[in-house]
Amino acid sequence: MPWGYAAAAVGGLLAANSQKNAAESAASAQTQSAQAGIDEQRRQFDAIQKLLSPYVSAGTGAIGAQQNLIGLGGPQAQQQAIGALQTSPQFQALQQQGTNAILQNASATGGLRGGNTQAALAQFQPQLLSQLIQQQYENLGGISRLGQSSAAGVGNAGLQTGTNVANLLGQQGQAQAGSALAAGRANSQLINSLTGAFGQYFGSKF
């Protein structure tokens, strides 16, 4: 075969190989970049989840405490929740202060031993306990709402992370598909180049 035809064949081979290598390098770079993005997305989600975890846990506990206070956790749990309020330092202090105030007022008005004073003392403790139960429920409600919003934040972050990761995985697939197509085109060009060179060579013989 004359050197011109051989050179054409070799040139086609080198060009095709160069195209394949370039396509593979580009695909590898894009795949690595997408993987780095996936890793960072997951790292950020883990950080958000860790950051909000205490609030989610607190909200979950607050919901359980609310349910116990209103009896949804069963009569025994409700009794324990109310009993804990009755024996709490807050209740004991308020009860002592309220009792002293009633007695001092009765003493000042000369009705210390009167029926009104005894009725006021009898009514005071149940009213105080009822107010504390309501206050406790509202306080727990604030914590449970905080937990709910934190859980929603984690959920939204998870959805966004899933969407971003899916997009990056799609980019990886596109890069790999593009590399395969480029390699196919390079192989096709190589075959055409070799076929053309041999065709020209043998055509010149006849």
**Contact by Cβ (8 Å): 200, 5:** yes
Q: Where are the domains of the chain?
A: 3-203
- What's the rounded Cα separation, in Å, for the pair 184 and 25? 15
| Residue whose tokens read 């006021």 | 120
pLDDT in tens, 17-64: 656 666 666 666 677 777 777 787 788 888 888 888 888 899 899 999
Global pTM reads 0.61
**Per-residue pLDDT, 32:** 74
- Give the least confident one: 43-47, 63-67, 94-98, 143-147: 43-47
Residues 6+ apart with CB under 8 A from 54: none
- What's the rounded Cα separation, in Å, for the pair 72 and 57? 20
Residues 6+ apart with CB under 8 A from 23: 178, 179, 182, 183, 186
- pLDDT at residue 99 tops 70: yes
pLDDT in tens, 178-196: 665 566 566 556 555 555 5
